[in-house]
């Protein structure tokens, strides 16, 4: 007993002696200045990117240069995020990205819009009275409430789901022309990506009226542009894969990110920027392992650009998070002898690739059937057998096939090619669609306030909103700019004059107001009056969602 007490006393004394200097040193330490308030936020989204993509990309990079042991994102990894819809555990880009932007879980295809109730399947309760209401986003809050500059950088076409989630609202993600119109009229300062076909003369005219310099398929012009408002669009639809692009004509995602930050950082009030590595998802849908890896590495370089800026700037928050996982990629597959597989056996099959499967599909469809073997062998570096050729003949959309249409399978050419090539590697995909895995999270905060652990989409939104000064401000903004027209114009003469085009006329004793959906102005007594937000018309409930302030004009 006595011996135990002596040991306890000695240990206690040693603990006091060891800890005392640390406490003292802390009390004498010079107080560090408080870090500057967050002024800018950059959200980077590698669409459809599973954690296994990081592993595959990291090994691919390391095998070619063993000094590159880490990805740009690696030092900033800090947690995981659950991604799902309001009524389903496997998410789609539209509701998952819109959850990051608005804080509200939603349904497949919904773009930053409150979901309809699904009583049987809803994972979390929803309010049926709010169905179809547009939801103010971080981008809109940054611009309207904080007067920040805003930007979108993507490798898909600009009205695609993830960029649309930032600056548009609708229940159908495929209504691209409608979403493009909203993004243009939502006064986004910088947009760089694909989609020249979604810009018509009206939208060009509106951009010009705002002083936006529009560069279409003009990388040299965009690169040298000095204005504060620039749009650069390449290709009629999505941009080429990084492995397929002509670097003299089409910029990399890192180059586009650099240009966007250079432009937006001129804003004294700060900026909001969303950067999407869109085609990680495209390649994963196609089960194109080379496309997945090279698209992610191109995205990772953009992460490096953002992190370099943030560290030097000292007032920038950076968040990197996929919207969901696609394809179910794995390293190793059934009966591959994975536990003794050397790195060379894993990576060597990828080193001969020069192009994506999408490029191969286009090349095959542009050449006669006897070109199958040379095209695929040059593009992939892998041997192509007669059995492979016969499988390609059976692809449903192979234009040079010698087989009759009724003899072919329903499998598309890009999927046939990807299955042939992936089978010659030690990688494997579980699906062509989305899968329900949690996604990784990385972040940089100048004061080290990181979102550690597992988060839901609404929780990640809340973190970003709090750090950038928008906590509890987006819900009131939603109520202000997206009120139902039946409430705003109660008691007035209201007529929807064109249900299909979304046009309405409102009359009072003194004034007549013409309203058009998907734009940011009204015509009051023949005079055009600009608004700070877009008007959204929803044909499903024949409702215009618009600013409450319009009532005061009547």
Domain ranges of the chain: 40-330+432-479, 353-425, 482-553
Q: Could you tell me if 379 and 355 are in contact, meaning their C-beta atoms sit under 8 angstroms apart?
A: yes
- In the three-class reduction of DSSP (H, G, I as helix; E, B as strand; rest coil), residue 444 is classed as strand
Structure tokens at 552: 């005061």
User: Which fold does the domain 40-330+432-479 belong to in CATH?
Assistant: Alkaline Phosphatase, subunit A (3.40.720)
All residues at 6 or more sequence positions from 469 whose CB lies less than 8 Å from its CB, including other chains:
37, 38, 146
Q: Using alpha carbons only, how large is the chain's radius of gyration in Å?
A: 27
- Equal fold, 40-330+432-479 vs 482-553: no
Enter the CATH code of domain 482-553. 3.30.457.10
Q: Could you tell me if 356 and 283 are in contact, meaning their C-beta atoms sit under 8 angstroms apart?
A: yes
* Residues pairing with 545 in the sheet: 484, 536
Distance CA 330, CA 473 (A): 42
Q: Could you tell me if 323 and 96 are in contact, meaning their C-beta atoms sit under 8 angstroms apart?
A: yes
* pLDDT one digit per residue (tens) for the chain, 554 residues: 434 444 434 343 334 333 333 333 333 334 444 445 899 999 999 999 999 999 999 999 999 999 999 999 999 999 999 999 999 999 999 999 999 999 999 999 999 999 999 999 999 999 999 999 999 999 999 999 999 999 999 999 999 999 999 999 999 999 999 999 999 999 999 999 999 999 999 999 999 999 999 999 999 999 999 999 999 999 999 999 999 999 999 999 999 999 999 999 999 999 999 999 999 999 999 999 999 999 999 999 999 999 999 999 999 999 999 999 999 999 988 776 778 889 999 999 999 999 999 999 999 999 999 999 999 999 999 999 999 999 999 999 999 999 998 899 889 999 999 999 999 999 999 999 999 999 999 999 999 999 999 999 999 999 999 999 999 999 999 999 999 999 999 999 999 999 888 999 999 999 999 999 999 999 999 999 999 999 999 999 999 999 999 999 99
Distance CA 53, CA 440 (A): 11
Structure tokens at 483: 């009120």
Distance CA 496, CA 486 (A): 11
Q: What is the 3-state secondary structure (H, E, C) of 196-214?
A: HHHCCHHHHHHHHHCCCEE
């Amino acid at each position: 007993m006595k011996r135990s007490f002596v040991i306890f006393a000695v240990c206690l004394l040693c603990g006091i002696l060891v800890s005392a200097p640390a406490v003292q040193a802390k009390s004498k330490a010079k107080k560090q200045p408080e870090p500057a308030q967050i002024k800018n936020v950059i959200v980077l989204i590698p669409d459809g990117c599973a954690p296994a993509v990081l592993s595959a990309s990291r090994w691919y990079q390391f095998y070619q240069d063993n000094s590159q042991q880490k990805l740009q994102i690696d030092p900033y990894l800090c947690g995981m995020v659950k991604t799902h819809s309001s009524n389903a555990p496997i998410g789609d880009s539209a509701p998952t990205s819109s959850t990051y932007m608005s804080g509200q879980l939603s349904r497949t295809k919904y773009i930053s819009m409150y979901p309809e109730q699904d009583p049987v399947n809803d994972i979390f309760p929803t309010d049926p009275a709010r169905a179809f209401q547009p939801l103010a986003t971080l981008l809109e809050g940054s611009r309207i409430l904080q007067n920040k500059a805003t930007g979108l950088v993507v490798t898909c076409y600009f009205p695609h789901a993830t960029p649309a989630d930032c600056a548009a609202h609708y229940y159908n993600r495929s209504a691209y022309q409608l979403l493009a119109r909203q993004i243009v009229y939502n006064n986004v300062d910088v947009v760089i990506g694909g989609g020249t076909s979604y810009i018509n003369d009206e939208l060009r005219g509106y951009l010009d009226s705002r002083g936006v310099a529009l560069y279409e398929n003009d990388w040299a012009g965009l690169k040298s542009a000095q204005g504060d408002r620039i749009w650069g669009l390449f290709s009629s639809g999505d941009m080429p894969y990084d492995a397929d692009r002509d670097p003299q004509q089409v910029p990399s995602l890192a180059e586009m990110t650099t240009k966007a930050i250079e432009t937006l950082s001129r804003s004294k009030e700060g900026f909001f920027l969303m950067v999407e590595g869109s085609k990680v998802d495209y390649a994963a849908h196609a089960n194109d392992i080379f496309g997945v890896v090279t698209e992610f590495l191109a995205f990772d370089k953009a992460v490096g650009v953002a992190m370099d800026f943030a560290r030097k700037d000292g007032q920038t928050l950076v968040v990197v998070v996929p919207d969901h996982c696609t394809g179910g990629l794995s390293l190793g597959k059934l009966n591959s002898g994975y536990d003794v597989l050397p790195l060379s056996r894993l990576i060597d099959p990828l080193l001969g690739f020069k192009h994506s499967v999408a490029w191969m599909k286009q090349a095959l469809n542009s050449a006669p059937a006897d070109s199958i073997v040379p095209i695929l062998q040059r593009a992939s570096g892998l041997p192509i057998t007669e059995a492979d050729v016969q499988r390609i003949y059976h692809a449903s959309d192979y234009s040079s096939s010698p087989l009759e249409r009724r003899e072919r399978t329903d499998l598309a050419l890009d999927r046939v090619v990807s299955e042939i090539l992936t089978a010659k590697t030690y990688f494997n995909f579980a699906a062509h669609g989305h899968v329900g895995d949690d996604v990784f999270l990385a972040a940089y905060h100048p004061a080290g306030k990181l979102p550690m652990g597992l988060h839901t989409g609404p929780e990640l939104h809340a973190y970003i909103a709090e750090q950038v000064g928008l906590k509890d401000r987006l819900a009131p903004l939603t109520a202000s700019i997206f009120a139902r027209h039946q409430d705003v114009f109660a008691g007035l003469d209201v007529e929807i004059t064109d249900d299909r085009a979304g046009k309405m006329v409102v009359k009072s004793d003194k004034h007549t107001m013409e309203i058009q959906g998907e734009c940011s102005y009204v015509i009051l007594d023949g005079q055009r009056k600009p608004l700070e937000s877009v008007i959204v018309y929803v044909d499903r409930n024949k409702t215009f969602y618009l600013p409450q302030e319009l009532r005061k004009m009547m």
